[in-house]
């Protein structure tokens, strides 16, 4: 699926899965004349990683300023030889918090757990990608299924692409400063913001640990509060706080159809089983839950009333909303929203299994409750209210 939409001053292309995303990303890198910024949580040493690496190296060798920012945890398995090869070709590679401290639970030191979960790319400030897709093979290795991860990306041309350029450049400079001086210039990060979007039909939203902690979550909540007919959310790791859950329940109570497409395959057991602990209250409120079983679900998207849509990297769970830098686009356009809605309904029909209220097996229920308690204990140790 790849359709193009002219929305105000921006041209958007909605892309499903890496099959469409990776070739376009490489083509745009190959077309770059001045600069490339690429941010990713996971950069895997596989066929897809090699394809993107080679495109970055080609650009650097012809004189393009190429900047690659990798998360220190998500990309920790990338071999040093790959990084050396990129740098030898002229690619400037930096790491976001390569030294992590998973044993530090003090609220004052939680910044050690901050992650760079954004998946952004921008070429010459003219074309950009806002995505939930990592640089990794579409079909998971060592898994007994042939379907790719379900995920989405948006290719943007127009004013929003300039915003993505500013956001990636700003984070690049912040990480570089921190690396050189072993500290972050917090004043600059606190007071410099992306330029306001001229065209409010397409908004580029960041989640950071300063002024934009809850922007993406608030965008969801506003859309849910205004929903009249239908809410469809597909989220890989779904464990929102009390406020978000209540918003969905209130919507269902006033007659809005609320549909959740959630992970059906166990990829990370704690997040998976913790989500199961929410099923009972959500089903009781009249919310439809479907588990995606064809492959891993990696999407972080939502559609409301076929008019409002969001695509990006932000999951609706504590680690994403409280510890990770994220980026989404929010689009107010019927044709774009309808395209995403159609794709999600197709995924539900072909790969989704509806969850009923017939009851969860006792052992599974025990795992769910234990997982939920463990995650909430961790969140509490960070000094964060369960409401978030």
Q: So where are the chain's domains?
A: 2-198, 207-381
What are the structure tokens assigned to 288, written together? 């439809």
DSSP, residue by residue, 8-40: TTEEEEEEEHHHHHHHHHHHHHHH-SSEEEEEE
Residue 92 annotated among the catalytic residues of the structure: no
Check: CATH 3.40.50.620 for 207-381? no
User: At which residue do the structure tokens 């993406």 appear?
Assistant: 216
How close are the terminal C-alpha atoms of the chain, in Å? 34
> Which residue among the candidates 92, 124, 199, 215 is catalytic per the annotation?
124
What local confidence, expressed as pLDDT, does residue 186 receive?
43
Residue 124 annotated among the catalytic residues of the structure: yes
What local confidence, expressed as pLDDT, does residue 183 receive?
45
Q: What is the mean pLDDT of the chain?
A: 87
pLDDT tens digits, 163-183: 999 999 999 998 987 655 444
Residue pair 295/150 in contact (Cβ under 8 Å)? The answer is yes
Residue 11 annotated among the catalytic residues of the structure: no
Strands 119-123 and 92-96: unpaired
What local confidence, expressed as pLDDT, does residue 193 receive?
45
Residue 298 annotated among the catalytic residues of the structure: yes
Domains 2-198 and 207-381 share a fold: yes
Give me the helix-helix angle, 242-253 and 215-226, nearest 10°.
10
Residue 88 annotated among the catalytic residues of the structure: no
Residue 340: pLDDT band with limits 50, 70, 90: very high
DSSP structure class, residue 151: -
Check: CATH 3.60.15.10 for 2-198? no
pTM of the model: 0.88
> Which residue among the candidates 215, 250, 305, 338 is catalytic per the annotation?
305
What local confidence, expressed as pLDDT, does residue 101 receive?
55
What local confidence, expressed as pLDDT, does residue 194 receive?
45
Assign 3-class secondary structure to 255-307.
CCEEEEEEECCCCCHHHHHHHHCCHHHHHHCCCEEEEECCCCECCEEEEECCC
| 143-161 b/e (C-beta count within 10 Å ≥ 16 → b) | eeeebbbbbbbbbbbbbbb
What are the structure tokens assigned to 92, written together? 């400037």
Measured in degrees and rounded to the nearest 5, phi and psi for residue 378 equal -65, -45
Residue 71 annotated among the catalytic residues of the structure: no
pLDDT tens digits, 17-48: 999 999 999 999 999 999 999 999 999 999 99
> Which residue among the candidates 110, 208, 300, 333 is catalytic per the annotation?
300
Strands 2-7 and 288-292: unpaired
What are the structure tokens assigned to 49, written together? 């990683």
Which sign, positive or negative, has the C-alpha torsion 218, 221, 226, 231? positive
> Which residue among the candidates 67, 110, 119, 272 is catalytic per the annotation?
119
Q: pLDDT: is 197 or 369 the higher one?
A: 369
């Amino acid at each position: 699926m790849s359709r193009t939409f002219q929305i105000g001053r921006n041209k958007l292309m909605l892309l499903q899965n890496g099959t469409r995303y990776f070739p376009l990303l490489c083509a745009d890198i190959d077309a770059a004349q001045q600069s490339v910024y690429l941010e990713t949580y996971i950069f895997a040493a596989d066929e897809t990683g090699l394809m993107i690496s080679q495109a970055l190296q080609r650009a650097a060798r012809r004189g393009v300023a190429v900047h690659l920012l990798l998360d220190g945890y998500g990309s920790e398995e990338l071999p040093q030889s790959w990084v050396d090869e990129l740098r030898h070709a002229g690619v400037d590679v930096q790491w976001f918090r390569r030294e992590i401290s998973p044993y530090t639970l003090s609220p004052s030191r939680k910044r050690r757990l901050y992650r760079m979960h954004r998946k952004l790319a921008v070429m010459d400030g003219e074309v950009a990608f806002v995505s939930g897709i990592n640089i990794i093979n579409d079909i998971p290795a060592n898994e007994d299924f042939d379907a790719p991860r379900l995920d989405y990306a948006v290719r943007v041309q127009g004013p929003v692409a300039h915003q993505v350029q500013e956001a990636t450049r700003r984070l690049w400079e912040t990480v570089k400063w921190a690396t050189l001086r072993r500290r972050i210039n917090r004043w600059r990060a606190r007071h410099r913001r992306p330029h306001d979007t001229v065209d409010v039909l397409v908004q580029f939203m960041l989640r950071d640990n300063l002024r934009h902690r809850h922007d993406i979550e608030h965008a969801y909540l506003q859309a849910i509060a205004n929903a009249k007919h239908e809410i469809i959310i597909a989220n890989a790791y779904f464990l929102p706080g009390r406020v978000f859950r209540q918003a969905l329940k209130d919507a269902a109570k006033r007659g809005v159809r609320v549909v959740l497409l959630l992970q059906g395959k166990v990829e990370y057991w704690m997040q998976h089983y913790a989500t199961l602990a929410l099923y009972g209250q959500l089903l009781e409120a009249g919310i439809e839950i479907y588990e995606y079983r064809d492959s891993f679900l990696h999407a972080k998207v939502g559609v409301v009333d076929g008019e409002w849509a969001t695509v990006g990297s932000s999951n609706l769970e504590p680690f994403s909303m409280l510890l990770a830098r994220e980026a989404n686009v929010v689009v107010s356009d019927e044709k774009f929203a309808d395209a995403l809605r159609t794709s999600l309904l197709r995924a539900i029909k072909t790969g989704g299994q509806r969850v009923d209220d017939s009851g969860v097996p006792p052992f599974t229920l025990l795992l769910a409750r234990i997982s939920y308690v463990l995650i909430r204990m961790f969140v509490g140790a960070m000094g964060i209210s369960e409401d978030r």
